[in-house]
Structure 1
Amino acid sequence: MKASFWLTIPLALLLAACSGDIEPGRQQNEPAIITGLKTDVVTPLSQATAQTVVGTIESRDRAIISARTDGQVLRLAVKEGEEVAPGTLLAELGDHTASERLREAEAAISEARKNRDMAVARQKLADQTQQRFDRLFAAAAVTPQEMDKVTAEATIAKESLEAAEASLVRATAARDAAKTALSYTRITAPYAATVVRHEVQEGSTVLPGTPLVVLDRRDGWLVRLNIPESLYDAIAIGTVLDVEVPTLSLTLKGEVEELFPATDPRSRSSQAKVRLPGDAQLRSGLYARAFLHGESRDQLFIPRSALVLRGQLTGLYVVEDGILHYRLVKTGVLNNDRVEILSGLQSGETIVVKGVQQARHGAKVGE
């Protein structure tokens, strides 16, 4: 009886505490109030649409300098990446055969000159002799047989001089050819360029046609773009494009100078060459992208600071009747510090643009 009494007392107290009524339309826990947030109303921005195509920077003139004679690479005179002026020595080959041919040709010229001088002297003597015999023959002082002999000797002397002069010409040509062959052992830059790479090493044996050095001409650059077949009709020769080189944080104006009609069946794209202005920062192989501008349309751009990343999901906080609501959105292109919203947000809605780290779904926005 006593135990039942003590059990009844806590139960009565609990019933008394729960006897109060909760007023209709009110919650027991009020939402949190967050202050320090900056909000902004989303407004559309009318601008031309842009499609992005990617490409690679190339030199307008890439040259592969090859050997024109056989020999051994004695020296590579330039380094990869070095800028060279016209006539700069690039490489030197060892060709002992060319040197020997040049010495032989010089000796042949010397001998040919001596033979020509002797032939000149013989012809001079033969001409003088014939003139004397012409006078004697007119005076009937010599026989016709003697006159014929002198005339034949003059003719032979003339032909000998012509042969000596021809021999000298051949020797001179052989000397010039030997000099040209010897000049092939010194490889020089044909124009102002940048050394891209070496194709051989010092000590290598090369034959005519063996690539030695690759050069990129410095006075012009282009970007080779891969144009999807769906955008091929959007450009034409002469079209001016904005070309961005992200690595250099550089944007240039380029003009389409060539279109290739053939389409790659694997990538479903064609190629286009876009001429770029000269810039000392450019170099072959850099990644580039160009923008094809279309018709104007309304786009929603918001500050990047308004985005909330949760794993692979992108969202933001929308303010409705003073309450924060987390909403997923789909983003588009980046434009400096602003990002395009493709879906999930409407024009005229209010969003949190600063302080999203402290925002919470369902919380109230304080003053």
Structure 2
Amino acid sequence: MYMKSYHNLIKGLSISAFSMTAALMGCSVETDVTRLKKPSQPVPVEMVSLTQEQITRTTTQPATVLPYYQTEIRAKVSGYVKEVKADIGDYVKQGTILAVIDVPELQKQRQIIEARITQSESEEKRAEAGIQLSHANVQSAEARLLQAKSELNRTKALVAAAEAEFARTSDLVQRRSLESRVLDEVRKKRDSELANQQTMSSAINSASADVVVARAKQKSAEADLQVAKSRTSIARHQLEELDVLLNYASIKAPFSGMITGRTVNPGDLVREGNEVGKGEPLFEIDQIEKVRVEIPVPEVDAAFISRGDVVKLSFPSFPAEEELKVAVTRFTGKLDPHTRTMLVEAEVQNPSRKLIPGMFGQATISLGSPAAANMLPARAIRFESGKAFVYAVTDDIVSIVPVTTGMDNGNSIEILSGLQPGQKVVDAHLKRFKTGEKVAPIH
């Protein structure tokens, strides 16, 4: 009986506990259903409007400092390094000797060419003397020719006189006024004068030939002089060429700058014709009193770049200093096919050599004059899969509106299409809204 009472008690307690649990669960379910049926409250949001502003288009890009000029110095002659006069970190002036190469074989060649010049100059003097001698021979031959012609004229006169005397004597002999033997004497005299005339004619021919020979020898002497002068000129040009090579034995700075690399030591053998890219240069020198700042400008801004555009430069190495203001000096005018950027350069005076080649900075370029643009705070624009959109609000109802963006000045972004000036949109907010959702603007 005791056990039966115990079982009845347990059964009663279980039924009571079940009833109480069911009652509690019923209340909870009813509460949740009631809560779900209550309408959600509009989300409070801050609003911003699309406004039109006068702004200057800018682009901010990384910038790199480069030397104004940078060159690798290589040897033009072969030889052993005799002396090294400069090292890395040295600032040198244009024309400063950096190293000296020993080239004794070139010195010997110079001595040989100098001896050849001396020989050629002696040949010139000999040729000049030959010209003077031949000129004298010409004058002598011409004098003999004139003398022979004069003798011929005199002989002709004597022949004429002898002919006249012979004719007169012959006439007298025919008249028997003179003996015939007198005519024989006159005839002999006439014949003698004729013979002298023939001799003078032959002398004239000989003298004329001597003049021709003397003049030919004079021309030959003049040609010998020209040959000697040509040989001297060639030797002198060879000496000048050799002096140029000897000048290359002194390695000089092509411009004023800082030595940033040295690979040569005294006693090293250097060879002529060490091409760029084939072997290390003897020295590297950078001109840094004026530097170039290279700025890669993306395709979207490249078309607006002009010479003289203002460039503001800042460098992490000098955070406390004011931005440098310079101007765009030049640009390539084409896009790099790999990066789709255009290279822009600005020149910066660097007398204190504070800007070091390779230094990194940031450049902001002002592109043209100020112009009106529809601007919206950057925080109000959302981006998804590379596309921009905003949450436009009309009568407190949200609409998702795709927009086309333009320039970005870091704080605001230009809206090219999608919104009208004055139209309100949701400012920065963590919630993702849906079209048709109601919001509560905060004024």
TM class by shorter chain equals 0.5 to 0.7
Given residue 327 of structure 2, which amino acid in structure 1 is its aligned partner?
E
Given residue 143 of structure 2, which amino acid in structure 1 is its aligned partner?
R
Of residues 325, 349, 366, the one that matches 1:253 is 325
CA distance in 2, matches of 1:265, 1:235: 18
Which structure carries more strand by proportion? 1
- CA 1:219/1:135 → structure 2, altered by over 3 Å: closer, same or farther? farther
- Figure out how many residues of one structure are paired with residues of the other and give that number: 262
CA distance in 1, matches of 2:292, 2:429: 40
- Aligned Cα root-mean-square deviation (Å): 3.2
Whether 1:157 and 2:221 are equivalent positions in the alignment is yes
Of residues 208, 232, 245, the one that matches 1:168 is 232
CA contact (8 A) 2:64 2:359 kept: yes
CA distance in 2, matches of 1:343, 1:212: 60
- CA 1:204/1:53 → structure 2, altered by over 3 Å: closer, same or farther? farther
CA distance in 1, matches of 2:140, 2:80: 64
CA contact (8 A) 1:253 1:277 kept: no
Q: Percent identity?
A: 20
CA distance in 1, matches of 2:83, 2:377: 61
TM-score, with structure 2 as normaliser: 0.52
TM-fit CA distance, 1:231: 3.3
TM-fit CA distance, 1:224: 0.6
Equivalent residue of 1:246, what SS?
A: coil
CA distance in 2, matches of 1:266, 1:136: 93
CA contact (8 A) 1:241 1:254 kept: yes
CA distance in 2, matches of 1:49, 1:126: 89
CA distance in 1, matches of 2:140, 2:92: 69
CA contact (8 A) 1:234 1:292 kept: no
CA contact (8 A) 1:105 1:178 kept: no
Question: Which residues of 2 match residues 321-360 of structure 1 at below 5 A?
Answer: none
Q: Deviations over 1:91-111 (max 9, x none)?
A: 222223321221111111111
Structure 2, unmatched stretches of 5+, are 1-52, 149-202, 276-280, 379-408, 412-426, 431-443
In structure 1, the residue matched to 2:345 is 273
CA distance in 2, matches of 1:274, 1:159: 63
- CA 1:233/1:119 → structure 2, altered by over 3 Å: closer, same or farther? closer
Which structure carries more helix by proportion? 2
Given residue 293 of structure 2, which amino acid in structure 1 is its aligned partner?
V
In structure 2, the residue matched to 1:187 is 251
Q: Deviations over 1:205-260 (max 9, x none)?
A: 22224443222224521111122333334533221111113224553212112223
Of residues 284, 297, 303, the one that matches 1:227 is 297
Given residue 282 of structure 1, which amino acid in structure 2 is its aligned partner?
L
Of residues 84, 96, 101, the one that matches 1:88 is 96
CA contact (8 A) 2:135 2:214 kept: no
CA distance in 2, matches of 1:74, 1:287: 39
Q: Deviations over 1:44-74 (max 9, x none)?
A: xx99896531121112222333322222333
CA distance in 1, matches of 2:258, 2:117: 42
Of residues 364, 369, 375, the one that matches 1:291 is 364
CA contact (8 A) 1:73 1:206 kept: no
Of residues 35, 38, 62, the one that matches 1:54 is 62
Q: Deviations over 1:258-290 (max 9, x none)?
A: 223443455443321122233322231111211
Whether 1:237 and 2:307 are equivalent positions in the alignment is yes
Equivalent residue of 1:242, what SS?
A: strand
Given residue 170 of structure 1, which amino acid in structure 2 is its aligned partner?
I
